[in-house]
Amino acid sequence: MDRIAIVNSSSFGKYFPDQLARLKKIGPIEFFKFPSDVNPKELAESLKDYNYIIASVTPFFTKEFFDHHPGVKLLARHGIGYNNVDTKAATEHNCYVTIVEGIVEQDAVAENAIAHLMNSARQLKLAALAAEKGEWKRRAEFMGYQIRNKTVGVIGFGNIGSRVGSILRDGFACRLLAYDPYQSDEMLRDKGAIPVSLEQLLQESDIISLNAFINDKSYHLIKEEQIKQMKDHVMIVNTARGELVDDRALIQAVMDRKIFSYGADVVEGEPIDSNHPLFSSPYITITPHTSAYTFECLEGMGEKCVSDCEKVFAGKAPVNLVNKELIEHTC
């Protein structure tokens, strides 16, 4: 019998029960919650009776997981990234790996980046806390910056980064710089940005938006050396991956007021607890990876995962397949 496991997702099916009803036509559904560092063998044992898996950003589905659970037909990521899935191992075990199309999350994530920027630029979180305490006389402490006519540097100018850039360029008359080593200068210009080197972007930007994907080259892309190249009082937002930033160097720069503010919806090693050093500064705002949490976005994400399950159940290949070689091998 086919069975479906919903792994580490707190939102799937919560607001759109019709999606769960469609999945039940395939087989029984069960929700699972695992720690992000769960042992792969234990994970496989827990999910051994489930051959359809809809998974969040954690846990990690490694080679060891697939070796101990070779019966998985589909691993559908409830999101656009797949760095927690060993796609090579999945392919070796004939398991489809799918992700949500980037366009589904584009506006939700980009708008959250802007929300973080507005909060950081105007110190809204601190001002609101003061108002709740009746401390209206403190309002002069919450001086901030206007966004209009600032120079914005976007690192990673793909699906979401380009949308962040267009909002700031068209809505706030910002000068838009872009650094993306995976796109040509012509492609960046066509999207309305000025292509620059990482060094130039860091030196000239008043605002930096991190929208790159994570790999060996981008891990801790922003560390002490890069921060030293930035303008004083630069504002940084990160809605991509926490691993892009060296937290230690960032926190020190915020404490030194080199960085005016840092707003992020992602952190390295998430979830983190309240004792994490990122919560040590009032000028750092962390949200618990909620960029995609709009009704419109979650409906689209859920629809994609359900559709993938239905296609595989019907003997068809799902769309937006990560390991496309699986189709090539069977053609």
Query: Within this chain, do residues 277 and 306 fall inside the same structural domain, yes or no?
Result: no
Of residues 224, 289, 296, 303, which has the active-site annotation?
A: 289
**pLDDT, position 330:** 54
- The answer to whether residue 277 sits within a structural domain is yes
- Dist. CA 197–CA 47, nearest whole Å: 46
Whether 122 contacts 318, CB under 8 Å: no
- CATH number for the domain spanning 27: value is 3.40.50.720
44: three-class secondary structure by DSSP: helix
Q: Please check whether residues 173 and 145 belong to one and the same domain.
A: yes
Q: Which structure tokens are listed for 62?
A: 């490694």
pLDDT, residue 331, reads 45
Q: What is the pLDDT of residue 327?
A: 81
The DSSP letter of residue 29 is E
- pTM assigned to the model: 0.87
User: Residue 149: left if φ>0, alpha if ψ -120 to 50, beta else—which one?
Assistant: left
Q: Do 150 and 63 belong together in one domain?
A: no
Kindly state whether residues 129 and 8 are assigned to the same domain: no
Task: For the chain, list residues with pLDDT below 50.
Answer: 331
Looking at the structure of the chain, the number of domains it has is 2
Query: Does residue 233 share a domain with residue 322?
Result: no
Task: Say whether both 272 and 184 belong to one domain.
Answer: yes
Q: Is residue 37 part of a domain?
A: yes
Picking from 85, 10, 5, the residue whose alpha carbon sits closest to that of residue 47 is: 5
Domain shared by 135 and 274, yes or no: yes
User: pLDDT tens digits, residue range 290-327?
Assistant: 999 999 999 999 999 999 999 999 999 999 899 999 88
Element (H, E) at 97: strand 96-98
- As a whole number of angstroms, the distance between CA 306 and CA 191 comes to 32
Active site includes 289? yes
270 has catalytic annotation = yes
The reply to whether 43 falls in a domain is: yes
Say if residue 137 is in the same domain as residue 255: yes
Same domain assignment for residues 170 and 92:
no
Q: Which residues pair with 321 in a beta bridge?
A: 98
The helices-and-strands tally (H runs, E runs) of the chain is: 13, 12
Tokens describing residue 116? 């973080």
Tokens of 96: 């489809």
DSSP structure string for 162-219 = HHHHHHHHHHH--EEEEE-TTS-HHHHHHTT-EE--HHHHHHH-SEEEE-PPPSTTTT
User: How confident is the model over 98-120, as pLDDT tens digits?
Assistant: 999 999 999 999 999 999 999 99
Residue 94 in any domain: the answer is: yes
The token duo for 185 is: 């200068």
First-to-last C-alpha distance (Å) of the chain: 26
Query: Which residue of the set 175, 241, 248, 276 is catalytic?
Result: 241
Nearest partner of 285 among 258, 266, 257, 271, judged by Cα: 266
Residue 293: the pLDDT is 94
CB neighbours of residue 141 within 10 Å: 11
115 part of a folded domain = no
Q: What pLDDT shows up at residue 329?
A: 56
Does a structural domain hold residue 112? no
What is the extent of the structural domain holding 72?
4-101+294-330
Query: What pLDDT is stored for residue 26 in this prediction?
Result: 97
3-state helix/strand/coil string of 274-318: CCCHHHHCCCEEECCCCCCCCHHHHHHHHHHHHHHHHHHHCCCCC
